[in-house]
Copies of this chain bind each other. A is one copy, B any other.
Amino acid sequence: MTGTGAARPSDGSGDDQLASYRASIDNIDAALVHLLAERFKITKAVGYHKAVIGLPASDPVREDQQIARLQALAAESGLDPAFTESFLRFIVSEVIRHHQALKGESQSPSPLEPPPFLGSDGPAL
């Protein structure tokens, strides 16, 4: 190890170790964004499906099951289970906001357009 005496910029620029960590974080963040985009495509389809068949946007039993399952996965992978619950609730609150918006649209006189995710046939009604 080298000493700690060398002058360093206060923002960490020029620190190769920090730059290497940040490059990994950037790769992971890009993967997270793409996974979240895919997740919202699916939950948009779920929202459409629920609005059409008349299910409520929120499903507390399903949410509790998801949290329990993800906390078990978190424990295996070393993620804080409390953070995992906060994270899922954060995502779900955004999804429910989308679902409620869709439900509002479904009460308008114009027919719902299925999201592109579903293809031209839409869901089995």
A45 — which chain B residues lie within 8 A by C-beta?
A: 21
Give the nearest-CB partner of A18 in chain B. Answer: B49
Return the CB mask of A2-19 against B: 1 if under 8 Å, else 0: 111000101110011110
Once A70-B29, A122-B1 are accepted as A-B contacts, the answer to whether A8 and B79 lie under 8 Å apart by CB is no
Copies of this chain held together in the complex: 2
Q: How far is the CA of A14 from the CA of B118 in the complex (A)?
A: 20
29 pairs of residues in contact across A and B, judged by CB atoms under 8 Å:
A1-B121, A10-B56, A11-B55, A16-B124, A17-B49, A21-B43, A21-B46, A25-B42, A25-B43, A26-B66, A28-B35, A29-B39, A29-B66, A29-B69, A29-B88, A30-B73, A32-B32, A32-B87, A33-B74, A34-B73, A34-B77, A35-B35, A36-B79, A36-B83, A36-B84, A37-B74, A37-B77, A37-B79, A87-B90
